[in-house]
Amino acid sequence: MFHALITGANRGLGLEHARQLLERGWHVTAAVRNPDAAAELKALPQGEGKLDVVAYDAADLGAAGKLARLVDGPIDLLFANAGMMTPTTRQFGSAANEDMTLEFRVNSIAPLALAEAFADRVAASDMKVIALQSSRMGSIADNGSGGAYGYRASKAALNAIGRSLSHDLKDRGIVVLILHPGWVRTDMGGPNGQLTVRESVEGQLDLIARAYNQPAMSGRFFHVSGQDLPW
């Protein structure tokens, strides 16, 4: 049985990843900031070999180490999905504030801390995949509108981290995927998104399945359609 560890699994894409992986017979560990408030997640099938819900706060850089002590066994898929966008860092003139520091901590540094805490466990698994939930807004070449300073910069940093991880973890057989989910109808993406949450997750899980034992996919920035995105 494959085992996935997903952060930010209490809503949106993370919740749907947990749901679909459970449907496919995976064991899922869902790491969320407040398990008591994750009612929709906890309504999914729980129990041995099904769903485990554990506490994890991406803003706390010590949380990855604490999580590693809570979760047992190899991790086939480590999915750093938790992320944030703050309205106070969007516009030029007032974007350089403490909220931007928080965006970097959650969107960039926390995924690196997870990879450092779980690399050995991923390497010990059958599938050996680390997935980073990035965004097309992290593409420097694709930035044609400006703004969104904190979110764009923190996702660009995540992309650089993912690329470095693909080199540093290559000898352990780990494939690192940097993923853009498409424009999805979520709380963050808004009601006008082109994809439903289910459609986006189906596409991402297809990419993850294709990455099994495919080192040529490591360190690349993928659109949910499978297309390579510019850095």
DSSP 77-109: EEEE------GGGSSTTS--SHHHHHHHIIIII
CB 30 within 8 A of CB 18: yes
Q: What is the pLDDT of residues 168-216, one digit of tens each?
A: 999 999 999 999 998 786 665 556 667 899 999 999 999 999 999 999 9
CA distance between the termini of the chain: 35
pLDDT at 187: 60
3-state secondary structure of 15: helix
pLDDT value of residue 184: 80
What does the alpha-carbon distance between residue 57 and residue 8 come to, in Å, rounded to a whole number? 9
In a domain, 180, yes or no: yes
Question: What is the enclosing helix (H) or strand (E) of 30?
Answer: strand 27-32
Q: CB neighbours (10 Å) of residue 212?
A: 15
DSSP annotation of 71? -
What CATH number did the domain enclosing 211 receive? 3.40.50.720
**Residue 89 domain-assigned (yes or no):** yes
Is 231 inside a domain boundary? no
Q: Check residue 194 and give its pLDDT.
A: 74
Helix/strand/coil percentages in the chain, nearest 5: 45, 15, 40
Residue 229 lies in a domain: no
Regions in the chain scoring below 70 on pLDDT? 185-193
In a domain, 188, yes or no: yes
H helix intervals, the chain: 12-23, 39-42, 63-70, 98-104, 110-123, 149-168, 197-210
pTM of the model: 0.95
Give the chain's length: 231
Q: How many CB atoms lie within 10 A of CB 209?
A: 13
How many distinct structural domains can be found in the chain? 1
Whether 230 is in a domain gets the answer: no
The answer to whether residue 95 sits within a structural domain is yes
Whether residue 118 is contained in a domain is answered as yes
Are residues 220 and 176 in contact, defined by beta-carbon separation less than 8 angstroms?
no
CA angle at 175 for the pair 169 and 180, rounded to the nearest 5°: 120
**Domain containing residue 215:** 3-223
